């Protein structure tokens, strides 16, 4: 009988972030992964995390790679610090899970892509909305032509106040030098990637406007943009850190897509809730019932992003063990950041800006 391979050893890099603790249930639910170590210079954060999960502790990435080389590194570092740490891990033959948006610039993300290719390691990033069953159904309906040619749509993410980053030991998120920027860098990239996935198309040019409400930090609180895709579809983005605390679940999410023959509308419930996809279509297949509401109930899963997060972690384990390309690649991270950088340039120049291919 063939012996099963031992679990892939995972190292968590960085604890000054909102997500490391909520990723632990996801790793624990995937037998192919075993979180073995944690790297964090802050003694209080590191000691508490290592104690709670029974992990080896390291203060630096160099110490980790020298004394306990893992198979996989999951990076939750300040965006500006991700490229150097990820490249060092890639050179040591360590596979990479770099939390979105991967870096503070497209150039930084591209450096990780190059290092991963050069050293033949897998590299993925957390655009887990691609795994949501509603997103998969939207993609199928578009591909089958039930709403005709996609003309436009909109995506909205309003999530949390700035205080959550202070409470979550990640004040660097409010420093442009370390984070890259405000909500478009941190949240908008999700919808940018999801629209790329749904339309199977790339953004050609953008317009954008950033709005700064806070007076204490150098990032903006709100960002608005129009993305024109190569096939002509125009998507509007409304991305914000200013949702009221009283808003249900603390976030306001929406995806709408309009075609020449129909419309799709979805207000994601996010984790462990029932989702409703509304479809209106003039397609003959819908004669007599032009409006349909499709219900989706996700399997309740503990951890970041619930079912979507679990699929993201599980699928990356599969791609390492089977030596296949990740579903979500480092190049997807680069593409999203190129769009974000063009949005910032459009805000500064007050004109449409081409996105670098």
pLDDT by position in tens, the chain (length 357): 345 789 999 999 999 999 999 999 999 999 999 999 999 999 999 999 999 999 999 999 999 999 998 999 999 999 999 999 999 999 999 999 999 999 999 999 999 999 999 999 999 999 999 999 999 999 999 999 999 999 999 999 998 789 999 999 999 999 999 999 999 999 999 999 999 999 999 999 999 999 999 999 999 999 999 999 999 999 999 999 988 777 777 789 999 999 999 999 999 986 556 899 999 998 888 776 677 888 888 888 999 999 999 999 999 999 999 999 999 999 999 999 999 999 999 999 999 999 988
Tell me, yes or no, whether 345 lies in a domain.
yes
Phi-psi region of 190 (alpha: psi -120 to 50; beta: other; left: phi over 0): alpha
Tell me, yes or no, whether 41 lies in a domain.
yes
Closest CA to 238 of 179, 171, 354, 153: 153
Note whether 210 and 165 are same-domain residues: yes
Note whether 104 and 142 are same-domain residues: no
Domain count, the chain: 2
Note whether 240 and 225 are same-domain residues: yes
In the chain, the percentage of residues whose pLDDT exceeds 70 is: 97
Residue 344 maps to which CATH number?
3.30.360.10
Across the chain, what does the average pLDDT equal? 94
Note whether 137 and 267 are same-domain residues: yes
Tell me, yes or no, whether 2 lies in a domain.
no
Note whether 145 and 262 are same-domain residues: yes
Tell me, yes or no, whether 313 lies in a domain.
yes
Note whether 166 and 17 are same-domain residues: no
Note whether 69 and 150 are same-domain residues: no
Rounded-to-integer distance, Cα 231 and Cα 88, Å: 39
Phi, psi dihedral angles at 223 (to 5 degrees): -140, 135
Determine the structural domain holding residue 340 and report its residue range: 130-300+336-354
Note whether 122 and 159 are same-domain residues: no
What's the whole-model pTM score?
Answer: 0.95
In the chain, the percentage of residues whose pLDDT exceeds 90 is: 86
Note whether 222 and 205 are same-domain residues: yes
Tell me, yes or no, whether 77 lies in a domain.
yes
Note whether 212 and 347 are same-domain residues: yes
Rounded-to-integer distance, Cα 312 and Cα 314, Å: 6
Name the one residue in this structure whose structure tokens are 């940018």.
Answer: 192
Alpha carbon 276 to its chain's center: 22
Note whether 53 and 201 are same-domain residues: no
Note whether 147 and 257 are same-domain residues: yes
Residue 41 maps to which CATH number?
3.40.50.720
């Amino acid at each position: 009988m063939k012996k099963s391979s031992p679990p892939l050893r995972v190292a968590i890099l960085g604890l000054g972030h909102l997500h490391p603790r909520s990723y632990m249930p996801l790793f624990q639910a995937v037998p192919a992964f075993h979180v073995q170590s944690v790297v964090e210079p802050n003694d209080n954060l590191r000691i508490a995390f290592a104690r709670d999960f029974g992990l080896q502790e390291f203060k630096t990435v160099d110490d980790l790679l020298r004394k306990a080389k893992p198979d996989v590194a999951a990076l939750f570092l300040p965006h500006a610090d991700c490229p150097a740490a990820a490249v060092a891990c890639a050179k040591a033959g360590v596979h990479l899970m770099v939390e979105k948006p991967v870096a503070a610039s497209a150039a930084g993300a591209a450096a990780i892509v190059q290092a991963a290719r050069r050293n033949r390691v897998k590299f993925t990033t957390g655009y887990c909305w691609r795994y949501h069953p509603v997103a998969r159904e939207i993609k199928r309906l578009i591909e089958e032509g039930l709403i005709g040619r996609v003309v436009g749509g909109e995506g909205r993410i309003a999530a949390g106040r700035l205080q959550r980053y202070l409470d979550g030991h990640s004040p660097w998120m409010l420093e442009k030098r370390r984070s890259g920027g405000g909500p478009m860098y941190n949240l908008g990239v999700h919808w940018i990637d999801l629209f790329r996935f749904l339309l199977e198309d790339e953004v050609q040019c953008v317009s954008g406007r950033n709005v700064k409400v806070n007076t204490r930090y150098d990032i903006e609180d709100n960002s608005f943009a129009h993305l024109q895709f190569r096939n002509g579809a125009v998507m509007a983005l409304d991305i914000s850190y200013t949702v009221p605390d009283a808003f249900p679940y603390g976030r306001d999410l929406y995806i709408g897509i309009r075609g020449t023959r129909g419309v799709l509308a979805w207000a994601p419930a996010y984790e462990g809730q029932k989702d409703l996809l509304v479809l209106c279509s003039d397609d003959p297949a819908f004669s007599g019932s032009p409006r349909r509401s499709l219900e989706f109930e996700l399997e309740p899963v503990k951890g970041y992003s619930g079912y979507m997060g679990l699929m993201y972690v599980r699928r990356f384990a599969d791609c390492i063990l089977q030596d296949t390309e990740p579903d979500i690649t480092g190049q997807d991270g680069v593409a999203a950041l190129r769009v974000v950088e063009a949005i910032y340039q459009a805000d500064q120049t007050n004109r449409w800006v081409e996105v670098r291919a």
